Amino acid sequence: MSARRRLLYISPIMPALGGNGLAMRGGMMLEALAADCDVWLLVIPVAGSVGGLPPAPIARWCAGFTSLPLDAPWAPAPRRLPGRGSAGESPLRPVLARFATPTVVQAARRAFGSHTFDEVHVFRLYMAPFADPYLSVAARRRPICALDLDDYESRTRERLAALHAAAGDGRSALHEIAEATRYRAMEGHYLPMFERVYVCSGKDRAAIARSCAEARLSVVPNGVRIPAEGPPVRRANQPFTVLFVGNLSYYPNEDAVVFLCTEILPRIRAATGRSVRALIVGSGVGAAVRALTRRHGVMVTGPVTDLAGCYATADVAVVPVRAGGGSRIKLLEALAYACPVVSTSVGAEGIVVRHGSELLIADGAADFAAACARVLERPGPVRAMVRRGRDFVERRHSPAAVLRRLRAARRLTSDDRQACPP
């Protein structure tokens, strides 16, 4: 695009270079958009606190920044999320969309005063109501509106319901079924209204197109930065180390860690005859994960600042998730760090990788443990797999790759709009 455009970016979380996967998606998209646009970033902290001004790497991509405090007197929505299955949930909107009252939406509209924008980019479906003031303008006068639908929310909630039901938690299952219904209604209402809808995988695009043929869908994949260092040299004479990295307040990740430590880890020990430890890294550690530290060989660190050190320590990074949606940024991150990866089919969903080529895919505790043991037993083929995995991420999920896909999607919809009659 020849001229820089003015773009309003509405996010539920402070974009970031690392850490939380949602924030990483936000940061990668912000960086790509800032290559062609002057971006004004508005954070409405539905999914995480702001903590002041953007950090330096994020601030350099912003022409302007502000956040909207949800505890202000004019914001009547409650500050804390209700628990799963809480009474008083809205029958019409998902829990995370309840902050978008008319008062808060109008406050967001006034956040940058008299500034006008050529484009509005909204991150996550539950933030779509904050685009209402722009979507309601006559089509030829309003800014181009884009929705980053990096997770197919209604399908994900259905999967979470099944996971809770399998764990015997009927109340949470019912809550997720209700949330799926609310998200499905939002998808039907909002997706046709945006000129651009970005999804993170071809699989999501196909599934959403079947349920909402009017949505103008483009794939913009998740991305990660490629570490400058080559493959780490792992220390000898240490226990075989299995690494899990993720936001542990997200129920599928909590379930994955419990599954790993209670069912998979003992089978790896039996298969290898080695001392084996699990290193669990991430924020949001709850009681179920803390209780795992009483098990032999389980270490829970909480969040860390040096993920490179964690990957250098690990013999294999694991993604034993059994529900969820989108695509796993942490899987891409592990491949970028040249760490062998074993994932479930769900964990690798939406990423165009092949079992035995870039990583190993296994479902069920016994098969998953056998795949982890294979990393130890076949070092030569595993080294070749690791090289292919890192090359794959660099080709298809690096910042440059994300920028190419985003530019292609923006150019296509801009051309379509220019061809429309007034």
CATH 3.40.50.2000 in the chain is located at 5-223+398-419, 240-396
Q: What own/partner pairs with CB < 8 Å and gap ≥ 24 does 85-89 have?
A: 85/171, 85/172, 85/174, 85/175, 86/175, 89/175, 89/178
User: What are 313-348's pLDDT values in tens digits?
Assistant: 999 999 999 988 767 899 999 999 999 999 999 999
User: Mean of the pLDDT values across residues 137-156?
Assistant: 91
Length of the chain: 422
Domain 5-223+398-419, second-level architecture: 3-Layer(aba) Sandwich (3.40)
| Closest listed residue to residue 244, CA positions, set 201, 160, 304 | 304
| Closest listed residue to residue 218, CA positions, set 72, 415, 2 | 415
User: What are 195-220's pLDDT values in tens digits?
Assistant: 999 999 999 999 999 999 999 999 99
Fold of 240-396: Rossmann fold (3.40.50)
User: What are 237-246's pLDDT values in tens digits?
Assistant: 789 999 999 9
The pLDDT value recorded for residue 324 is 82
Q: Which helix (H) or strand (E) holds 342?
A: strand 341-343
233, pLDDT greater than 80: no
What are the backbone angles phi and psi of residue 166, rounded to the nearest 5°?
A: -65, -30
Strands (E), 35-170: 37-43, 64-67, 119-123, 144-148
74, pLDDT greater than 90: no
The rounded percent of the chain whose pLDDT value lies above 70 is 90
pTM of structure:
0.89
Separation CA 224–CA 332 (nearest Å): 7
If one compares 9 and 83, the residue with the highest pLDDT of the two is 9
